[in-house]
Structure 1
Amino acid sequence: MPRYLTFVIALFISWSANSMEMSIPKEVTSTVASAVPASAAMPLQSPAVPKRGALYKVRHDGKTSYLFGTIHVGKQGFFPLEPEVTRALADSSALVLELDTRIHKPFEQALAKYGSYPAGDSITRHLSPGALAQLTKALDKAGLALQNVAMYRPWLVANILVGTEIEKHGYHRSNGVEGFLLTAAAQQKKQVHELESADYQLSLFASLDDAQQERYLVENLEDLENGRAVQKSAGLIDAWSNADAARIDVMARELTSGDSVSATFMDRTLLGKRNPEMAAHIERIMQSDQVAFVGIGLLHLVGDNGIPALLRQRGYDVEKVY
């Protein structure tokens, strides 16, 4: 069964690229650009723009909101978004995201709290000799020194390595959808609300003990070595860029299937725990007078436990626009 790819966390966790730069040495983040894409300044509508992601219209008690599946990494050519998306945003009174990635300090604090060891501790004390040897080999290949990441926990080191490799193939956090939406919302003078907090998002990784974190790291190092990290991440991003619902469904099942630590964490925590919480929060938003445009990681919208399905269970009329 294909292993979960750490970089795909970027489809679920709205990490701030600027905060990563502030919190992690320059040698580790040299390929990470700013959080807002230059393409966000482009006109909001353009002829013949392809459909991307997935868009839903949600109605209840005479009120309407929108759900849009985002990716937190991408290419500059992904913008502007499809006119139906930009019209839905224009018709909304507020933009709702997992996190407002323009706000850096809470993310920095959460990263230090959950991603770093206390002073005097090191990843070398928490990995078996075999795992440490694999990590050293991967760092050498990436052009990084162990001493530059030794203070970080295995889950964060795995994310750094896989993210760095994917960025070499042209996918950047600086071209994530959130930046485009935030810039558009600012131009339209809309309120911006968060579904979660940086502390909560990164605290999810604290549920992994040392043994699980080592396995999580090793699984992703193996995916880097055999090329799956690029193959699977690029495939999922491509499915988003073409609004390929069938392919997105297939990949979602692959990413959450099997008994690996990574797949189990994805299935039970990144999706299984967060989706009901997000659905409840969206319901509270819709009970107010706001017409909300909710942009959340693409795979939160997929399957019987996806947010559209959960809202239908709560009595909401959920129409898939595309």
Structure 2
Amino acid sequence: MTYDYDGNGGLLWKIVNGETTLYVQGIIHVGHEDFYPLANAIEEAYDSANVILPEINVVEPEVNAEEINKLALFSEGMTLDKVLSPKSLKKLSGILEAQELSLENFNKYQPWYIESILGAFIREKSDLRPEYGVDLYFLKRALEDGKEIIELETVEDQYNVFSSYNLDTQVKMLEHTIQTFEQQADWINQLGYSWVHSNSSSSKEELINIVTNDLNRADDEYQKEMNDTRNINMVNKLDEILQSESRQTYFVIVGSGHTVIDPSILSEFREKGYNVKSIY
């Protein structure tokens, strides 16, 4: 299926405390060159901001490969072939062989890490690319414009979340990705289409469905750690900024799921008594 990626872009909200303004932009971390420029309201919100707040700074991420590798490896005596079903193991082997890789070389790695590798293969098959990601679009401009960038999380924070799931959750997530591998690239395409056209009610509803289905592919632990806990932590940081009364304008760029799946960043702000205004 061919998708039209020429649209206006995702969801934008505004929260004000005194003379301090916070814009919250729901994004996706991949994108298409036809996305840009985004809607005038979104571009103007970025232009007005003094500070840009991404989940992580994907332009200059601080990555400790050795530490990530330690997190990714099984403890002694456990291997991937002991936890995956024979059906999933056989299909995973075929997927890796198509990339000229061997399952044997990945047998000591935990399911969450293998899933991240498959995710990279899937993105390569899709129409969308990380280099056109919406967060990257704004962060590159922020560097050019001399705007301050403050991360809401770190790479280590995110990898600690991925690696902290219990083994049953990890296996469910990986086996779902393995068994639906052929459909995943088109799901990414649908995500991109729904995001860039999310100013229409039907596309917004489809966007919510896609990110909700992603969170529902394992169990409650996955949603709690991937969405709920992170949202609460990010709102606590953003609340401190609003309460600082800096009289500055802040532009927050977070994955759309963090803005539409409760407890979302927006619902948490409402719980704290803020007026959350939908801009776009």
Q: Which band: TM-score by shorter chain?
A: 0.7 to 0.9
| 1:319 maps onto 2:274 in alignment | no
C-alpha separation between the residues in 1 aligned to 2:196 and 2:64?
28
C-alpha separation between the residues in 2 aligned to 1:301 and 1:183?
23
C-alpha separation between the residues in 1 aligned to 2:116 and 2:84?
16
| 2:121 paired residue number | 164
| 1:306 maps onto 2:264 in alignment | yes
C-alpha separation between the residues in 2 aligned to 1:110 and 1:297?
25
| 2:242 paired residue number | 286
Aligned in 2, Cα 1:308/1:209: closer, same or farther, shift over 3 Å?
Answer: closer
State the one-letter code of the partner of 1:281. K
| 1:41 paired residue number | none
What is the Cα deviation at residue 153 of structure 1?
Answer: 2.1
Which shows bigger deviation, 107-116 or 287-296? 107-116
C-alpha separation between the residues in 2 aligned to 1:196 and 1:88?
22
The number of aligned residues is 269
Q: Deviations over 1:121-180 (max 9, x none)?
A: 754455454543232122224443224434532212122123312322222112111221
Aligned residues: CA RMSD: 2.5
| 1:256 maps onto 2:211 in alignment | no
- For the Cα contact (< 8 Å) 1:155–1:213, is it kept in 2? yes
| 2:42 paired residue number | 85
Aligned in 2, Cα 1:315/1:70: closer, same or farther, shift over 3 Å?
Answer: same
TM-score by length of 2: 0.85
Q: Secondary structure at the match of 1:255?
A: helix
| 1:241 maps onto 2:196 in alignment | yes
| 2:232 paired residue number | 276
| 2:3 paired residue number | none
Matches within 5 A, 1:1-322: 50-117=7-74, 123-124=80-81, 127=84, 129-224=86-181, 227-243=182-198, 244-257=203-216, 260-261=217-218, 263-288=219-244, 289=246, 290-322=248-280
Q: Secondary structure at the match of 2:8?
A: coil
What is the Cα deviation at residue 101 of structure 1?
Answer: 1.5
Q: Deviations over 1:166-201 (max 9, x none)?
A: 322222112111221111111221110010111111
TM-score by length of 1: 0.75
- For the Cα contact (< 8 Å) 1:97–1:294, is it kept in 2? yes
Runs (5+) with no aligned partner, structure 1: 1-48
State the one-letter code of the partner of 1:278. M
Identity of aligned residues (%): 25
